Amino acid sequence: MVNAINKKHLNVLAKSKNFEFNKVTARSNFTINLIFVLICILFLAPLILVVMVSFSSKESLDTYGYQFWPAAFDLKAYQYIFKYSYDLIHSYWNSIIVTSIGSITATSIIALYAYPLSRSNFQHRNGFAFFAFFTTIFGGGLVPWVFVYAQLLKINNSLLILIIPYLVNAWWIIIMRTFMKQSVPEDLVEAARIDGAGEFRIFFSVALPLCKAGLATIFLFCLVKFWNDYYLSLIFINDHHLYTIQYYLYSMLDNINYVLTSPNVPAEARRNLPSEGARMALAVIAVGPVVFSYPFFRKFFVKGIIVGAVKG
Amino acid sequence: MAAEQAAGIKPGKQIGKIGKPSNAAVGLRKKSKGARRRDLAFYLMLLPGVLILVINNYLPMIGVVIPFEDYRYNVNAGFFKSLFTSRFVGFQNFQFLFKSVDCITATVNTVAYNLVFIALDLIVPIALAICMSEMWNQKKANTYQTMMFLPYFISWSAVSYVAYAFLCNAGFIDKTVLPLLGMQNIDFYTKPGYWPAIIIFFHLWHYTGYNLIIYIAAISGISNEYYEAAALDGATKWQQIRYVTLPMLKTTAIILSLLAVGRIFNGDFDLFYNVPRNIPQIYSTTSIIDTFVYNELINLGDIGMSAAAGLYQATVGCVIVFLCNFVVRKADPDSALF
């Protein structure tokens, strides 16, 4: 008995020596946890509200407004948008095309641009780095930028315009260059060169396999950027058939009566339209893929952000 | 010829730097043939990126002449011909611009909001990151951080819906919160007074998780020995934060703030366009230069005014970046951007 108490006592002592030296008090720890729980609730509540509204019945929305726990649940909003919205499926498809083609192309171009910049024996590397970096300091402004695409290249109202402007991003080039500097040892490149490999061979067979994490990070940056973009559509797209999901979402809130007047919605659907709930359901569907894959890609983003911040 | 000379000088420099004369000498001899082929490969790799940068960023820079003319697009002549044959009007567009109340409002809003954002993006994430680093259970800290980073990935058109769900007439605040408090309904989308608070909330909501990551990484980079030494000397937690953590975060905080100061003339179009939904009644507190430029061009079709505002923003912004960099270079050359 005495022995046991002594042992317990010793254990506590040992624990405090090894693990609890210089730690905040239990009360502070509790307070910090409480603060973060409250902040997390504050941060997630807006998203939860949107999800809840999308599952609310029309009657409950009309009577009680938007609530975190609706008086009556139903799935009419989702049934409605899947049944009648040809536009939704089409815009979803456009988003998938733009996002996949755009991300693959952008990652390739950025990796190709970053690789020479990461090589210390390329004498113009600083010049080309500045060529990319200068675009973040000065720009011609919105008007000439729009005119170059709409009047010179004349690619407004096409899927190309939703891809080209985001293919290069100076920050991502700098992040990719840092990744390459960190993970591709100069000696290995030199060894490959002595073995007779050309620069392209070295790039594809030595450099790229070594910085898979960097490629994945940039690729995920691109995926999220292309998927979440509404801005290019806002400026360049008028054609209904080229709407992406985010712009479709935007246009629905922008014009409350959009569904009511859209030619693709049959009259019978218009009559029992759960419009408020349907719009929130649309929002859920538009952000769904990003939110569900978030746990898997989070760590790549964290890595990329830290690499970018370290470089300044 | 000149290129070869330059190439000859470069390895010479490296001799002094790396201190491997034999290697450099080998490089010098091989330069003429192997190096030229290598450089060609590098240029080919850079080509697609350069092409996109030229189209997307450098060609529009020619357009800085647009605000000085009465630009008329002639479909048959094309862009360049229209650009150089439109009537020159001098500073007329700028005169209109600086007389317009809307432009002044937008400028004041842009700078004021950005100043608030810079201060909050410094205080809030640093405070939270310090709290997180002191938590007993770091797994829990990671969970909190994961949840706080999620709003960063919500597309802005969806954020617009999120704001709408709270603020519209059938929304959570008007139908649930205010009746509970016994207050009248508020028509948020027509009352400019409420918007600074709403905008600041959504800014913090969207970006805090992002900034938090940077500061948490910076804090975890501080060696534990400093804290142990301080604690052995009898420093309390507050003193450790004051004399160890904050000084170690100084460089990161200064660099991030300077980047933000350099962009003080660039508003966050996504936030200011989507959350207030571009409603004219609340422009007095939600209009920024970026939304002003957009509305002038797309909604009003006033090319001259929009281009003038765009150039004014780009020029002042550029001057501020160089000023910032100049000051940093004087104070601490290592932190300078270029």
pLDDT above 80 for B265: yes
In this prediction, residue A89 carries a pLDDT of: 84
* B62/A144 CB distance under 8 A: yes
- Give the mean model confidence (pLDDT) for residues B250-269: 84
Residue spans per domain, chain A? 2-54, 79-311
Residues with Cβ < 8 Å from B151, sequence gap 6 or more? A43, A46, A47, B159, B205, B206, B209
In this prediction, residue A84 carries a pLDDT of: 67
- Residues in B closer than 8 angstroms to A164, CB to CB, are 52, 55-56
Round to whole Å and give the CA distance between B133 and B218: 11
Note the maximum CA span of chain A.
90
* B146/A298 CB distance under 8 A: yes
Q: Does B10 touch chain A (CB under 8 A)?
A: yes
Q: Does A128 touch chain B (CB under 8 A)?
A: yes
- Asked whether A50 and B165 are in contact (CB, 8 A), the reply is yes
- Using 50, 70 and 90 to split pLDDT, how confident is the model at A273? low
pLDDT above 70 for B274: yes
pLDDT above 60 for A266: no
In this prediction, residue A219 carries a pLDDT of: 92
- Give the mean model confidence (pLDDT) for residues B4-33: 44
Q: What is the pLDDT of residues B204-231, one digit of tens each?
A: 999 998 999 889 888 888 888 888 888 8
Position B198 in a domain: yes
- Residues in B closer than 8 angstroms to A21, CB to CB, are 228, 231
Judgement on whether residues B303 and B261 belong to the same structural domain of the protein: yes
Nearest to A109 among B49, B151, B274 (CB): B49
Round to whole Å and give the CA distance between B283 and B267: 14
B90: left (phi over 0), alpha (psi -120 to 50) or beta: left
In this structure, what DSSP letter does residue B135 have?
A: -
CATH of the domain at B281: 1.10.3720.10
* B160/A253 CB distance under 8 A: yes
Q: What is the pLDDT of residues A150-178, one digit of tens each?
A: 888 888 888 899 999 999 988 889 889 88
Judgement on whether residues B41 and B109 belong to the same structural domain of the protein: no
Q: Which of B69, B84, B119 is the last residue of a domain?
A: B69
- Asked whether B150 and A44 are in contact (CB, 8 A), the reply is yes
Judgement on whether residues B111 and B39 belong to the same structural domain of the protein: no
| Domain total in chain B | 2
pLDDT above 60 for A217: yes
Highest mean pLDDT among A229-238, B69-78, B293-302: A229-238
pLDDT above 70 for A21: no
Q: Which of B27, B49, B69 is the last residue of a domain?
A: B69
- Asked whether B116 and B261 are in contact (CB, 8 A), the reply is no
* B259/A254 CB distance under 8 A: no
Average pLDDT of chain A, as a whole number: 80
Q: Which of B24, B51, B69 is the last residue of a domain?
A: B69
- Using 50, 70 and 90 to split pLDDT, how confident is the model at A310? low
Residue B277 sits in which domain range? 102-335
Residue from B161, B205, B216, B220 to probe the interface with A (highest A Cβ count within 10 Å): B161
Residue B247: C-alpha distances to residues B125, B187, B226, B293 (Å): 16, 46, 12, 41
Residue A270 identity (one-letter amino acid) = R
**A267/A283: higher pLDDT:** A283
Round to whole Å and give the CA distance between B65 and A141: 11
Question: How far is the alpha carbon of B64 from chain A, nearest alpha carbon, in Å?
Answer: 6
pLDDT above 50 for A138: yes
Lowest average pLDDT, out of A56-65, A200-209, B280-289, goes to: A56-65
Highest mean pLDDT among A52-66, B145-159, B161-175, B291-305: B145-159
Round to whole Å and give the CA distance between B73 and B79: 7
Pairs of residues, one from chain A and one from chain B, whose beta carbons lie less than 8 Å apart: 299
- Using 50, 70 and 90 to split pLDDT, how confident is the model at B156? very high
Say how many C-beta atoms besides its own lie within 10 A of residue A221's C-beta: 25
Q: What is the pLDDT of residues B98-120, one digit of tens each?
A: 888 888 899 999 999 999 999 99
In this prediction, residue A76 carries a pLDDT of: 76
Residue B19 identity (one-letter amino acid) = G
In this prediction, residue B1 carries a pLDDT of: 34
Residue from A36, A175, A206 to probe the interface with B (highest B Cβ count within 10 Å): A36
* B79/A35 CB distance under 8 A: no
* B277/A295 CB distance under 8 A: no
Judgement on whether residues B32 and B130 belong to the same structural domain of the protein: no
- Asked whether A187 and A206 are in contact (CB, 8 A), the reply is no
Which of 150-179 (A) contact B at CB < 8 A? 151-153, 164-165, 167-168, 173
Q: How large a percentage of chain A has pLDDT more than 70?
A: 85
Residue A15 structure tokens: 């624990």
- Residues in B closer than 8 angstroms to A23, CB to CB, are 134, 136
- Asked whether B125 and B213 are in contact (CB, 8 A), the reply is no
Position B257 in a domain: yes
In this prediction, residue A222 carries a pLDDT of: 92
Position B86 in a domain: no
Judgement on whether residues B24 and B124 belong to the same structural domain of the protein: no
Question: How far is the alpha carbon of A30 from chain B, nearest alpha carbon, in Å?
Answer: 9
Average pLDDT of chain B, as a whole number: 82
Judgement on whether residues B133 and B58 belong to the same structural domain of the protein: no
Q: Does A133 touch chain B (CB under 8 A)?
A: yes
* A39/B144 CB distance under 8 A: yes
Position B312 in a domain: yes
Q: Does A104 touch chain B (CB under 8 A)?
A: no
Q: Does B70 touch chain A (CB under 8 A)?
A: no
**B238/A105: higher pLDDT:** A105
Query: Which overall architecture, per CATH, does domain A79-311 show?
Result: Orthogonal Bundle (1.10)
**A62/B142: higher pLDDT:** B142
pLDDT above 90 for A101: yes
Position B90 in a domain: no
- Residues in B closer than 8 angstroms to A122, CB to CB, are 38-39, 42
Q: Does A14 touch chain B (CB under 8 A)?
A: no
Round to whole Å and give the CA distance between B237 and B93: 59
In this prediction, residue B53 carries a pLDDT of: 92
- Using 50, 70 and 90 to split pLDDT, how confident is the model at A129? confident
pLDDT above 90 for A97: yes
**Burial group, residue A85, by CB count within 10 angstroms (0-12, 13-18, 19+):** buried
Handedness of CA B167, B170, B173, B179 (dihedral sign): positive
In this prediction, residue B335 carries a pLDDT of: 65
The residue to which tokens 């200011």 are assigned: B272
Q: Does A81 touch chain B (CB under 8 A)?
A: no
